[in-house]
Structure 1
Amino acid sequence: MIQLLLVLPLLVPLYGAILCLFCWRKLQVQMAIGVVTQLGLLTSSIFLLQVVNKQGIVTTQVGNWPAPFGITLVADLFSCLMLVVSAVVGVSVFLFSLRGLDVKRMDFGYYPLLLLLQLGVSGVCLTGDIFNLFVWFEVLLICCFVLIALGGKKNQLEGAIKYVTINFLASGFLLTGTGIVYGLLGSLNLAELALLVRSAEAHPSLVTLAAMFFLVALGIKAAIFPLFFWLPASYHTPPIPISAFIAGLITKVGVYALVRLFTLVFVLELELMLPILTYVAGFTMVIGVLGAASQVDFRRILAFHIISQIGYMIMGLALYTPLALAGCIYFVVHNILVKTNLFLISGVVAHRHRTFALRKLGGIYLKQPTLALLFIISAFSLAGIPPLSGFWGKFMLAKAGFETGSYGIVATSLGVSLLTIFSMTKIWNEVFWKKKPETTEDEIETKVEKYENRLLHLPVVFLVLFILVLGLGAESFIQFTLKAADQLLNTDIYINAVLKDVK
């Protein structure tokens, strides 16, 4: 029964996508299948999280081939949290898509593609070997490429080409690193690799070389400095539901893979890697937030903030203490929810006013006070204003930095938080507070448009509730992330769970 629960996050979106393909010409049926599938994925992920929390790491071997020879699926607390939050985001994006996406794009397979994208996310989080990590990332790449290009507009195609070109390069690095690891150690199973790297048989310089390939490959996918330039050029081009899902979730999957590999397999390389990651984290924060502050488009500001916030997550890995890794996990969950919600809010604004340009917007505080409140909660959380979720994540990381004497990266993170407040205030002033420019025509909403606009608020409210719970219930969730960080640092727990049947 537990093994079935472990594979459900893969089977549910896969079968949902297949059913949608069978109903290719029936969009209403696809919508219903998509919503039911997302709710099923959320439910199964929550149950799996409860099982792992009570019983510890859960594993299964596909086809009953014993580890390390078969395909291993592993669920620990960090991977389960990723599954749950991705399902939460999936539900909200699907609800937004019901009214926030035009029929033309739905006709080209939007719903099955989004479900296959979630299949890829689940695969990355549950895989127990490096080769299947590469395979699942390719599933993500293909789905993201098609979704970004869906609709065929010039700016979408331009963004899609940039996205796929640089990510194919990342895939090449990832495959090269995989080949080096296999040629050196003769295994791809993460648990066995963790043992082999510790052994005297492992050649230190070649292991370091493999680690660098994985750092570059996953660094591109996570959009760390200086490998981030593809992100702001592509994430603002597709329709809002696609932007929100990809921008909110996919780069954090790259962070998840980095944390997994550098806490399990490449632990012996940390003396070299941690100083590099510290500088990378600082530059990622600063460049991202400066880019956001210079933009004049709602979505482009949010796109650059993705880069900046990734820096905080890398900071948690670079500090490499239980509290720092717990802060990293907390920040990943927080940022997925907040960033997705801010993109959805920009979509609600654009649905009503037909633009993302700050200079053409204004006065929304008076016309849509509920939306203004939802934006303030999400923006304050992103900036780290207490007692919202962003504050607790940054507090944990800052405390871990002070405990390790890493004052430079802590000062950088605090300074970046101030600049984040500035850019969020910029959006507030330009979009919500200032009077709408007289040169811009005031749109007249029909009754149908008012109804649709209110429906678009529902997924935003849905995510805001999770953001509030994450902030106001921070004590319980922090304890949970500390437990997840303990699992990451005590690698013997993972190894024994996977290789328990190996004599």
Structure 2
Amino acid sequence: MSTYGLVPLPVVVPLLGAALTLILTNRPRVQRSVSVLCLGVTLAVAVVLLVEAYRHGPVVVRVGGWPPPVGIVLVADQLAALMLVVSSAVTLCVLLYSIGQGRGETSESAPVSIYHPTYLVLTAGVTNAFLAGDLFNLFVGFEILLAASFVLITLGGTEVRIRTGSTYVLVSMLSSMIFLAALGLVYAATGTLNLAQLAGRLDALPDGVRLGLQLMLLLAFGIKAAVFPLSAWLPDSYPTAPAPVTAVFAGLLTKVGVYAIIRTETLLFPGGQVSDLLMVVAGLTMVVGILGAVAQSDMKRLFSFTLVSHIGYMIFGVALSSVAGLSGSIFYVVHHITVQTTLFLVAGLVEERAGSTDLRRLGGLARVAPLLAVLFFVPAMNLAGIPPFSGFLGKLGLLQAGLAAGGALPAVLVGAGTLTSLLTLYAASRVWNIAFWRSPRLATTHPTVKLPGLMVGATTALVLLGLALTLAAGPLFRVTADAATDLRQRSPYVRAVLPVEAR
């Protein structure tokens, strides 16, 4: 099979796997094997696509043979392929974690027959969003992953999950309606939704119309990415779901929104017309999010607020509109997907071991579960940006890009980013001191509790992946710099998708 034939597979394989696992509802062992095989194949294909995109440029498939902009186009450029690789690795590890957990939370959890098909559909939605070559297919990707997430976030049907899941559903539907309205306006103004064709046609619109369309898309994607002040829904929704669900939501779903912002701001709306607005939003997201984190007494809620806070770093890189800023933003997305997912898996292990993630009930975990302490400490320091971890390298790249941009507002954002990093270190240290270091509490003194090996193994794999990002930071920064250069130029993407006569 040619490389071009591989492009649809990250979407098709999980969807076929979802159908097959649904058929295998009475054979859970085979069902689990099929799920793991599907995500393993997806990861392997993503790696091949990344190598091909890095060496030869974007890989484009015209679904059904229809020429763009009439037909659906799937595009695997360096940015999309890199997102595919990291998302596939994370979803595979989380799936293994959930298999090790069994039914997750005994009687509260839904049957495995529901979980596996839904999880694979979620994966297909994420990969479709990354590969989408037109705005409507991007909308379809969002809707696929959101439909699956509605099931996963209410898994088990408990009262608290239904209540918080309802908020998540309403917010998601609101963002989808805004996105759909924006699609109608974009099509009315330009006659197309193909991203490559829009790159030329939007430039010809009056400035006011173009700005209105840009702000509507930013509003829709900002809700999905959980940027301030559109982030209040997240800390209440994510912590109530089962640990593997919370982990994959935290690692991926908001990053799909960030990816959409990066793609549209560089390809459709270059020139930084709303850069100042994005910088203000980025700064507020950083500071307000981390202030919320330091006030929490529950690990899951604390990590939910750090999730919101660190979205600000990614938006800062987009707002700079420079190659260095975009490169730093892409690098930080890759880092944050890995590390934030790991921390939520660790929180699940703490809950499995101690019966709670409430810091007021925890203590002495470093003594009774030393491996668990290590699994928390490494990604926590990575998130805080302690040298030489990838979190430090990503933040350093973004802050250097901010200083190089000059001006008062980027300098303020550099200060906000530094403050956020210090407060993240404070929040992580507080969790360490209370949950792991102080004298054991009642909730953590049960020596008979043994953590499932597959859960520990999957979490360890993600910790090692986070460390690998540090060791491979040089090559990874070369990939992100190349991706950022292509995003800024726009022409590699447009030339790969459209023939000259269709532009």
Assess same fold via TM > 0.5: yes
What corresponds to 1:411 in structure 2? 415
The Cα of 1:158 is off from its aligned counterpart by: 1.1
What corresponds to 2:31 in structure 1? 30
What corresponds to 2:428 in structure 1? 424
What corresponds to 1:203 in structure 2? 206
The one-letter amino acid paired with 1:208 is L
What corresponds to 2:187 in structure 1? 182
Of 467-476 and 309-318, more deviation after overlay is shown by: 467-476
The one-letter amino acid paired with 2:12 is L
The count of corresponding residues between Structure 1 and Structure 2 is 494
Q: Matches of 2:38 and 2:313 in 1, distance apart?
A: 32
Q: Matches of 2:501 and 2:253 in 1, distance apart?
A: 34
Q: Matches of 2:348 and 2:501 in 1, distance apart?
A: 52
8 A Cα contact 1:352 1:453, kept in partner: no
8 A Cα contact 1:46 1:84, kept in partner: yes
Q: How does 1:42-81 map to 2 (within 5 A)?
A: 42-81=43-82
* Partner deviation per Cα, 1:22-70 (whole Å, 9 max, x = no partner): 1022221111111111111111111111111111111111111101111
- Secondary structure, aligned partner of 1:236: helix
The one-letter amino acid paired with 1:295 is Q
Q: Matches of 2:248 and 2:354 in 1, distance apart?
A: 22
- Secondary structure, aligned partner of 1:60: strand
8 A Cα contact 2:294 2:426, kept in partner: yes
Of 362-371 and 273-282, more deviation after overlay is shown by: 362-371
Among candidates 233, 247, 252, match of residue 230 of structure 1? 233
8 A Cα contact 1:67 1:499, kept in partner: yes
8 A Cα contact 1:348 1:453, kept in partner: no
The one-letter amino acid paired with 2:192 is S
* Partner deviation per Cα, 1:282-307 (whole Å, 9 max, x = no partner): 00000110010000001000001110
Q: How does 1:355-374 map to 2 (within 5 A)?
A: 355-374=356-375
The Cα of 1:203 is off from its aligned counterpart by: 2.8
- Secondary structure, aligned partner of 2:65: coil
Q: Matches of 2:328 and 2:292 in 1, distance apart?
A: 25
What corresponds to 1:212 in structure 2? 215
The Cα of 1:256 is off from its aligned counterpart by: 0.2
8 A Cα contact 1:66 1:501, kept in partner: no
Among candidates 149, 153, 161, match of residue 148 of structure 1? 153
Q: Matches of 1:155 and 1:442 in 2, distance apart?
A: 27
Does residue 191 in structure 1 map to residue 199 in structure 2? Answer: no
The one-letter amino acid paired with 1:155 is V
The one-letter amino acid paired with 1:429 is N
What corresponds to 2:264 in structure 1? 261
- Secondary structure, aligned partner of 2:61: strand
- Secondary structure, aligned partner of 2:417: helix
Q: Matches of 2:494 and 2:429 in 1, distance apart?
A: 47
The Cα of 1:444 is off from its aligned counterpart by: 4.1
8 A Cα contact 2:323 2:488, kept in partner: yes
Q: How does 1:274-313 map to 2 (within 5 A)?
A: 274-313=275-314
Q: Matches of 2:225 and 2:284 in 1, distance apart?
A: 14
8 A Cα contact 2:94 2:244, kept in partner: yes
* Partner deviation per Cα, 1:54-97 (whole Å, 9 max, x = no partner): 11111111111101111111111111111011111111111111
Question: Residues 453 and 431 (structure 1 numbering): CA distance in 2 closer, same or farther, change over 3 Å?
Answer: farther
Q: Provide the alpha-carbon RMSD of the alignment.
A: 1.3
* Partner deviation per Cα, 1:321-364 (whole Å, 9 max, x = no partner): 10110000000000000000000011111111111111111111
The one-letter amino acid paired with 1:397 is L
What corresponds to 2:143 in structure 1? 138
- Secondary structure, aligned partner of 1:397: helix
Question: Residues 501 and 407 (structure 1 numbering): CA distance in 2 closer, same or farther, change over 3 Å?
Answer: closer
8 A Cα contact 2:22 2:113, kept in partner: no
- Secondary structure, aligned partner of 2:73: strand
Q: Matches of 2:144 and 2:455 in 1, distance apart?
A: 29
The Cα of 1:266 is off from its aligned counterpart by: 1.6
What corresponds to 2:468 in structure 1? 469
* Partner deviation per Cα, 1:240-298 (whole Å, 9 max, x = no partner): 01000111111011000000000001225x22x11000000000000110010000001
- Secondary structure, aligned partner of 1:210: helix
* Partner deviation per Cα, 1:431-478 (whole Å, 9 max, x = no partner): 11111235x473242xxx52x433321011101111111112211211
Question: Residues 441 and 37 (structure 1 numbering): CA distance in 2 closer, same or farther, change over 3 Å?
Answer: closer
The one-letter amino acid paired with 2:420 is V
Q: Matches of 2:495 and 2:477 in 1, distance apart?
A: 26
Stretches of structure 2 that go unaligned for 5 or more consecutive residues are: none
Moved >4 Å (runs of 4+): none
The one-letter amino acid paired with 1:156 is R
Q: Matches of 2:322 and 2:467 in 1, distance apart?
A: 27
Does residue 105 in structure 1 map to residue 110 in structure 2? Answer: yes
The Cα of 1:500 is off from its aligned counterpart by: 2.7
* Partner deviation per Cα, 1:390-433 (whole Å, 9 max, x = no partner): 00100000000000112110011001100000000111011111
What corresponds to 2:452 in structure 1? 453
Stretches of structure 1 that go unaligned for 5 or more consecutive residues are: none
What corresponds to 1:166 in structure 2? 171
Of 284-293 and 205-214, more deviation after overlay is shown by: 205-214
Q: Matches of 1:317 and 1:444 in 2, distance apart?
A: 49
- Secondary structure, aligned partner of 1:52: helix
Q: Matches of 2:162 and 2:86 in 1, distance apart?
A: 29
Q: Matches of 2:188 and 2:102 in 1, distance apart?
A: 47
* Partner deviation per Cα, 1:208-256 (whole Å, 9 max, x = no partner): 1111111110000000010001100100011001000111111011000
What corresponds to 1:316 in structure 2? 317
* Partner deviation per Cα, 1:352-379 (whole Å, 9 max, x = no partner): 1111111111111011112211211100
The Cα of 1:167 is off from its aligned counterpart by: 1.0
Does residue 354 in structure 1 map to residue 358 in structure 2? Answer: no
Of 339-348 and 365-374, more deviation after overlay is shown by: 365-374
* Partner deviation per Cα, 1:114-154 (whole Å, 9 max, x = no partner): 11001000100001001111111111111111100110011
Q: Matches of 1:483 and 1:100 in 2, distance apart?
A: 40
The one-letter amino acid paired with 2:418 is L
Question: Residues 64 and 441 (structure 1 numbering): CA distance in 2 closer, same or farther, change over 3 Å?
Answer: closer
What corresponds to 1:384 in structure 2? 385
Q: Matches of 2:374 and 2:339 in 1, distance apart?
A: 14
Q: How does 1:4-23 map to 2 (within 5 A)?
A: 4-23=5-24
Does residue 221 in structure 1 map to residue 224 in structure 2? Answer: yes
8 A Cα contact 2:389 2:467, kept in partner: yes
